[in-house]
Amino acid sequence: MSVSPLFQALWDEQGFTEMSPIQKAVYQPLKKDQSILGLAPTGSGKTLAFSLPLLEKIMPGQGLQVLILAPSQELVIQTRDVIQPYAKAIDCTVQAITGKANVKRQIERLKAKPEIIVATTGRLLELSEQRKVKFHTLQAIIMDEADELLTDSGLSETRHIVQEAPADVQLGFFSATSTDILLELETWFGVPIETIDVRGIDKTGGEVLHAFIPTGNAQKVNVLRHLAHQKNFRGLVIFNQSAQLLQAAQTLKHQKVTYAALSGQGRQTERQKALKDFREGKIQLLLATDVAGRGLDITDLPYVINFDVPNAKITYIHRAGRTGRMGRTGTVLTLGNQHDGRNLRKLLAPEYDLVTRYLVGDHLEAEKPMASKVTPIKTTTDKSPAEQITKVTSAPNSHKTKVALARQQPATPLKPKHKKNRQRNQKNKGYHKKNND
């Protein structure tokens, strides 16, 4: 199977040679207006899997026909950027709608009547209530990263949008993991859903090393600093909580580590610049929470770093999916104490083989470094023995440390008795002599 001649030139230009398993599997069902659930590993080409067959059905100039919903601003922008060249090839327009963007500018652009909208649910509903977006011409609604999108308020907001669309609107749900909510889609949305799962046959992912670094909480930021000292190091650092991210960012700023943060408080332009700088290698660390980091597609990302042990296996899978994409190799590092390490092994077994790595200097080693080691520091020969220093890395109260310190100290002459004591002794000698006489 190959792509439509409409997109073949772009497909070749981007270096693609053949369709991935998910792209092949959903192509015909989506062209035939079937509602589906597509399950495939991260980095397997899901965005083009759902967009290319739908683009073939679009009629330019006929208003909004395809709506794509995503759980984060970053994923919305990323999806728009992937689709835009293909949409342009058939003379169609794609518009992104997110909560942090300028709403007046978004309303102005909607006057051009884009055929495709990629959006977060909150801002889209806001514009819908103002009658700035109308759903009556919709042919298809795609829910990307559906396992994340359909949680908490996202489920009710997505259902509200679907209810505003025509009754025969085509639905597509795409995810890397299957959750309880995805098993109940027909109940929640009232239409038959065909499940297409290629996770067992998809081999597009590269080899990924999953490693745990024993680290105390107080030392985690220092580990990031040492890792960043490696040449050409680039790592996506994911935090469980925003407060931890902000605290780490402040420390890294003082340590002069080049980084950027995908903060929920930042403006969209700032977040886009952070991603652009990271992709171009201008910064070494990109800090993000799970929501901000979800679905990010960063070409050849070598490291994903879990600042904390993820709360659930599904969370780890999505984080790990940011590296090792499209056949490239990658590494996932998780920081924590020994207790965290045991919990992580239980969480990931048996799918992942978790190894332990130790930070020695600025490098990761498989062997645990020796706890006690004496390393002499080179000194010039014209210094006296008292001026020569020995670096002792063992415990300060150990026997070896005391011996090493004793050997480097010169002999010290006894201090003369205090003058006052000498006077007292002389006086006592005179008193005894007088009594004896």
Neighbouring residues of 102: CB distance < 8 A, sequence distance ≥ 6:
none
Q: Token pair of 320, please? A: 């790990």
The CATH fold assigned to 8-197 is: Rossmann fold (3.40.50)
Give mean pLDDT in consecutive 10-residue pieces for the chain, a chain of 437 residues: 88 90 96 97 91 96 96 90 95 93 93 96 95 96 95 92 96 94 95 95 87 94 92 92 92 91 71 86 90 75 94 89 84 95 91 90 82 41 39 44 48 50 54 49
* The two domains 8-197 and 208-365 share their CATH topology (first three levels equal): yes
Amino acid at 212: F
For 407, counting Cβ atoms within 10 Å of its Cβ (0-12 exposed, 13-18 middle, 19+ buried), the class is: exposed
Which two tokens mark 293?
Answer: 């980091």
3-state secondary structure of 292: helix
Instruction: Report domain extents, the chain.
Output: 8-197, 208-365, 374-431
CA dist., res. 83 & res. 405, Å (int): 68
- Apex CA 185: angle with CA 180 and CA 187, to 5°? 105
* Phi, psi of 197, rounded to the nearest 5 degrees: -115, 115
Query: What per-residue confidence (pLDDT) applies to 229?
Result: 87
The tokens of 153 are what? 């308020």
Report DSSP letters for 153-164, one per residue: HHHHHHHHHHHH
Phi, psi of 11 (to 5 degrees): -60, -45
User: Which pLDDT does position 231 carry in this prediction?
Assistant: 86
Please give the Cα distance from 163 to 189 (Å, whole number).
9
The whole-model pTM stands at 0.72
Q: Could you tell me which CATH class the domain 208-365 is placed in?
A: alpha beta
At a CB cut-off of 8 Å and minimum separation 6, what does 198 contact?
Answer: 21, 22, 25, 38, 39, 40, 44
